[in-house]
Amino acid sequence: MAMLTIGAFARACRLSPKALRLYDELDLLRPARVDPDTGYRYYAAGQLEGARLVAWLRRLGMPLAEIRRVCLLSTSARSPPTAHRTSTASVSSGS
């Protein structure tokens, strides 16, 4: 998995490193890995979509508390409940 430094990730998603540190503290956008010795934050390329959503919503003036709710909805929408996946699998297998 390709890891991006906070600076590279910030440029890619149009957020400042300072904003990314704040979002980490607020548990809004956590880095994929933090080096235990240096404290450097590293982000996965797969996190760019969520970061870009946060950046876009901030530019629209949305408060961080609302952005958190949107991100939680976005995450649950990408990952349907297990019961739904199970029932879909049952229907497609004919059971």
What's the number of domains the chain is made of?
A: 1
- 72-91 mean pLDDT: 57
Domain containing residue 41: 3-78
Asked if residue 88 is part of any domain, the answer here is no
Domain assignment present for residue 85? The answer is no
Q: Is residue 92 part of a domain?
A: no
CB 33, CB 42: distance < 8 Å? yes
- Give me the CATH number covering residue 43: 1.10.1660.10
- Residue 86 placed within a domain: no
Residue 11 inside a domain? The answer is: yes
Residue 14 has pLDDT above 70, yes or no: yes
Mean pLDDT along residues 9-38? 96
Q: Is 7 contained in some domain?
A: yes
Q: Encode pLDDT of 46-79 as tens digits.
A: 999 999 999 999 999 999 999 999 988 866 665 5
Q: Could you give the angle at which helices 48-59 and 17-25 cross, rounded to 10 degrees?
A: 100
Domain contains 91: no
- Please give the pLDDT value at position 83: 47
